[in-house]
């Protein structure tokens, strides 16, 4: 059992306020087996991605690119309670049917989805084998111990939208978990909001951020072997 694991996953910055999940997907693909930019874009086009990308979309993307994966979540489909959250409000009605449909068709398409809760120990043992994971967190709660300033929430707003930098209750954000240290109870992750660092937080802060209401405890395990 290793006390300290650090996987060399490249950091790729998101380009827009909405594409953190795609940036995370590019990081893990780059780590596993680089696919060309053309191949990546073609897969996104084939899957008809819009500016609203859910974890199930990322699972379909991995499947399409032939990457072994397992998507664990608390809710098979869309949690209707999210309708009232400001983060989900704008796209909720148009997205609900689309996302539920993806869940329904997942098995027949070869997309592996499991309804379960994952422990931090399971995440560690996954990393110990050289595998990585894309995790949905509440960015409002996730605090990096190495960054001098927290991520400003205006960073996630569409260009041109007025920013008052008022902390929302929930800001869904994808990160790539790439390491841990058992002695210091730290978890390391790549945050697509940055391009020049690996972030670090305590197990307890990471657990709070990934189990926050709104995340469904979504985690996409990615495996090195196809």
DSSP 155-222: GGSPTTS----PPPS--EEEEEEEEEETTTTEEEEE-TT-SS--EEEEHHHHHHHHSSTTSTT-EEEE
pLDDT at 86: 75
At 94 the pLDDT is 79
How far, in Å, CA of 91 to CA of 100, rounded? 14
pLDDT at 120 (0 to 100): 94
End-to-end CA distance of the chain: 24
Residue span of the structural domain in which 120 resides:
4-222
Report the predicted TM-score, pTM, of the whole model to 2 decimal places: 0.91
Q: Report the pLDDT value the prediction gives residue 132, as an integer from 0 to 100.
A: 98
Question: What local confidence, expressed as pLDDT, does residue 162 receive?
Answer: 52
Q: How many Cβ atoms sit within 10 Å of the Cβ of residue 75?
A: 14
- pLDDT in the model for residue 45: 96
C-beta of residue 69 within 8 angstroms of C-beta of residue 49: no
* pLDDT (0 to 100) of residue 151: 59
Burial 127-139 (b: 16+ CB within 10 A, else e): beeebbbbbbbbb
Q: How many domains does the chain have?
A: 1
Pairing of strands 69-73, 219-222: antiparallel
CB 63 within 8 A of CB 105: no
What is the structure's pLDDT at 83? 77
Task: Tally the C-alpha atoms within 13 A of residue 115's C-alpha that lie toward its C-beta.
Answer: 9
Please list the ranges in the chain whose pLDDT falls under 70: 90, 149-167, 226
Inter-residue contact 118 to 219 (CB < 8 Å) = yes
Question: For residue 220, which of 120, 124, 134, 149 has the smallest C-alpha distance?
Answer: 134
pLDDT for the residue numbered 170: 85
pLDDT for 152 equals 53
pLDDT at 166: 58
Tokens at 91, concatenated: 């796209």
CATH code of the domain containing 175: 3.90.70.10
Q: Dig out the tokens for 124 from the structure.
A: 């560690």
Structure tokens at 51: 């500016």
Residues 6+ apart with CB under 8 A from 38: none
């Amino acid at each position: 059992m290793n006390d300290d694991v650090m996987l060399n996953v490249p950091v790729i910055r998101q380009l827009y306020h909405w594409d953190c999940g795609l940036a995370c997907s590019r990081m893990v693909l780059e780590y596993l087996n680089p696919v060309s930019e053309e191949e990546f874009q073609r897969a996104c086009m084939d899957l008809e991605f819009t500016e609203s990308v859910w974890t199930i979309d990322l699972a379909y993307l991995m499947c399409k690119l032939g990457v072994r994966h397992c998507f664990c979540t608390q809710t098979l489909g869309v949690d209707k309670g999210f309708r009232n959250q400001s983060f989900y409000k704008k796209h909720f009605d148009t997205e609900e049917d689309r996302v539920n449909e993806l869940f329904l068709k997942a098995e027949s398409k070869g997309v592996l989805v499991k309804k379960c809760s994952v422990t931090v120990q399971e995440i560690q043992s996954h990393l110990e084998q050289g595998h990585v994971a894309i995790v949905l967190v509440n960015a409002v709660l996730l605090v990096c111990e190495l960054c001098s300033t927290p991520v400003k929430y205006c960073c996630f707003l569409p260009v041109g939208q007025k920013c008052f930098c008022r902390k929302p209750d929930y800001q869904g954000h994808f990160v790539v978990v790439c390491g841990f240290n058992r002695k210091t109870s730290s978890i390391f992750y790549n945050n697509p909001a940055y391009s020049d660092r690996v972030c670090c937080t305590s197990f307890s802060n990471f657990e709070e951020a990934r189990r926050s209401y709104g995340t469904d405890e979504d985690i996409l395990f990615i495996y090195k072997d196809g």
